[in-house]
Structure 1
Amino acid sequence: MKQLLILSGKGGTGKTTIASAFIKLSKAKAYADCDVDAPNLHLITKQNSLPKKTDYYGLPKAEIDIELCIECGQCMQNCRFEAISADGKYKVDPFACEGCGVCELVCPVEAVTLKPAVAGELLLYTDGEKVFSTAQLKMGSGTSGMLVTEVKKQMKSAAADVEFAIIDGSPGIGCPVIASLSGVDMVLIVAEPSISGISDMERIINTAAKFGVKTAVCINKFDTNMQNTEKIENFCKGQGISLLGRIPFDLDAVKAINNGQTIVDIDCASGAAVKAIYSKTMELLFEEGGGLRS
């Protein structure tokens, strides 16, 4: 399965807007939303069936058996996360507990145990021949990178015979992005012409380079700052990174998204630009070889 990952380095650049357009243009039979902290691809890619839901277990959480507890205070004194309080009875705050196990280790009467805890929920939509994999991390839960890995595994397992998949990645360069990058064939980075946008683009390019993944860039809302657009273009040229196109700022695109449509569902300037970028992306993805190209 060829996997195209769409990243941005920061939120709000239009990554999901472009991912949803690519899904529509390619008539993708397998796709995933790996932004498990705030998934929103499902808002545009309408699903005709209810998802199969599976609990995702992250790090275990400590629990105190009040029948065994002798209230010695060792657990609370040794918890570096201040997750244990003694308001009448000793208890653990599950949002603060990191599951390190120190409290279990120091308890003299074995009143503390680490128990599996649900940290999120995997969702799998199967609509005819289409497979859409996503997830939602619970508030305050960690291990988002591990959940992203499960999202991708779920997609590949359910769409084992599909040749091509599109993945909408997470913003930033943290664990979810690292997990998103693992095993993909190409990364399309959506950049915006702002100071922070340029900085974040450079960071995600450097991160992708560690994986040796074929990388390309497109510029969204390029006409909002032509000077910074030129900086992005010069950077890509200097690094030998394919620049696949520019997308103009387009109020019609905003209206389409607000109506639950992709920008290629309507006749608009941004949609036309994305169609051209899509064609170049597919050509680059399926060409022989990998890595960066000039």
Structure 2
Amino acid sequence: MLQPEQDTPTWRIYETLLQATPDLSYVFDLEHRFIYANKALLTMWGMSWDEAIGKTCLEIGYEPWHAAMHDREIEQVIATRQPIRGDVPFPHATLGVRIYDYIFTPVIGPDGQVEAIAGSTRDVTERKRHEQHQQLLINELNHRVKNTLATVQSIARQTLRSATGLEDANAKIEERLVALASAHDILTRENWHSADIRDLAQSTVDAYGAADQFQLEGDGCRLDPRRALALAMALHELGTNATKYGALSSRAGRVHLHWSSIDVDGDPRIEVVWQEHGGPAVHEPVQRGFGSRLLERGLKHDLGGGVELAFAPEGVRCHLWMPQPNLEEGQLR
């Protein structure tokens, strides 16, 4: 790469520095031809200096649009005597397509005119990927925060509507927010990808401290975040009702909670059944409270499936079903 007149101690120092850097260093003449390229650039091209010397970007093998863009930029640097910067994808000879950040800078001669254009390019592929991932996380966080605030707002509004007073409302809102926070904890442990129904069910059991009154039955079934939160809130409402009026209000009462993955006419779906027995006789409520409305209306919407809530004399039964989530898509519902 050295011309005979350049073989001086000072030039050798600069040459050593330029060859050692992982950045791509190069120089164009005023005809847009490469008159210098360091080892990193030649490696990216997959060429020797003898193959590259004196060639333009187009002759090196750059795509026509890419070569034309650099031709315009070189002319702009010559005309303005100001640096220009950009980033562009380019196929590395061995690493595939990478993203490069580059800057073209005028080399000013003794007469004050541009005599060459020096360039420096850095591979910023990993930085760009990190930035894209960071933006994705921010977008997901915004989505979750909005959904959570909407849920909290709905809980507060519906609870206040059916509460008997402020003290009753405060207690119920606090209980429901604790249930929501517990579901968030489960999802956080799973990086908000999905949650296992057993974990949600066990959280409900732990909340009511009546492990001997619950029978949990079901294989591993995972739900996306939206359905997991909806099911967690539904189990909380069922548990609260059972504690006050149903099976959990009596030591003899039992709750059988089971879930399964089934196929219905070729469509995979998940079914969850909450069945109470052994408690006080159940009577159809005269007025639907927040819990019943959540189960019969809101839950059906959030699950994208169906809900059947029955107040049979022997015990409350809630049967719900939903499509099998496609967790491979990694969707944030």
Q: TM-score, normalised by structure 2?
A: 0.19
Structure of higher CA gyration radius: 2
RCO comparison, higher one (Cα < 8 Å, 6+): 1
Higher share of residues assigned helix: 2
Q: TM-score, normalised by structure 1?
A: 0.21
